[in-house]
A and B are shown apart, each in its own frame.
Chain A
């Protein structure tokens, strides 16, 4: 059973560019959440997608947007990249029917470096 897969694993961009990160959730999961983890910090919630809609959002600017597809996979887009966007971007999947609401399954992340 494949877990959460993310691509690409590493990428380097320059300020002002745009980036798209991709995520395939664990089999049987219908909800995808995205987190940003800066170096030496804990993950910060960006947003969550369920039924192809953004269900909730953290304190991130509109430069951060996302999408969920009918097969539950998801994309995170970041426009007009800033140096401060350099971080590990984690995708986490879960099931709305889960008995443990806080149980998220994380991918290994996409490490973004903005120069």
Chain B
């Protein structure tokens, strides 16, 4: 079993739709949770960052972490064609020696069509 599981999709939605992307994880030591966005032929870029459980909102994006169920979510409101990309969830152990060793999900390919 992979430590971070993510439905690869692909997911296709019309412009303006609300998008829900989800991951589950199995390692209880994970304390930091991130969403990276990767455009075609580019490296991933950090989109959202959450420490432990809770919600975090940034513009049209909301990240949620439920540590009791080991569930990670990203919501995109009013989706735009420019949001079309692969979305990668990632987790990280607490502790300095683990910094940088992210465990990624498989990635979900999202297409927002006009």
Of the candidates A4, A101, A105, A108, the one whose C-beta lies within 8 Å of that of B92 is A101
Residues of A26-54 at the interface with B, using a CB-CB cut-off of 8 Å, are 31, 33, 40-45, 48
Chain A interface extent, by class: 20 to 34
Complex Cα spacing A88 to B103, Å: 16
Q: Which residues of B contact A56 (CB under 8 A)?
A: 97-98, 100-101
**A42 close to B100 (CB less than 8 A):** no
Interface residue A24 (Cβ < 8 Å from any Cβ of B): no
Q: Which residues of A contact B97 (CB under 8 A)?
A: 55-56
Least CB distance, A67 to chain B, in whole angstroms: 17
Chain B residue at minimum C-beta to C-beta distance from A4: B43
**B101 close to A42 (CB less than 8 A):** no
**B100 close to A48 (CB less than 8 A):** yes
**B43 close to A109 (CB less than 8 A):** yes
**B100 close to A94 (CB less than 8 A):** yes
Complex Cα spacing A94 to B100, Å: 7
Least CB distance, A46 to chain B, in whole angstroms: 10
Complex Cα spacing A56 to B105, Å: 20
Least CB distance, B31 to chain A, in whole angstroms: 9
Q: Which residues of B contact A105 (CB under 8 A)?
A: 45-46
Chain A residue at minimum C-beta to C-beta distance from B92: A102
Q: Which residues of B contact A104 (CB under 8 A)?
A: 44, 46, 100, 102
**A103 close to B105 (CB less than 8 A):** no
Chain A residue at minimum C-beta to C-beta distance from B6: A42
Residues of B2-30 at the interface with A, using a CB-CB cut-off of 8 Å, are 4, 6, 8
Q: Which residues of B contact A90 (CB under 8 A)?
A: 43-44
**A92 close to B104 (CB less than 8 A):** no
**A106 close to B101 (CB less than 8 A):** no
Q: A101-B32, A101-B92 are in contact. Are A45 and B42 (CB under 8 A)?
A: no
Interface residues of A (CB under 8 A from B): 4, 31, 33, 40-45, 48, 55-56, 58, 90, 92, 94, 96, 100-109
Closest 9 CB pairs of A and B: A106-B43, A42-B104, A102-B92, A101-B99, A33-B100, A102-B32, A48-B100, A102-B34, A42-B107
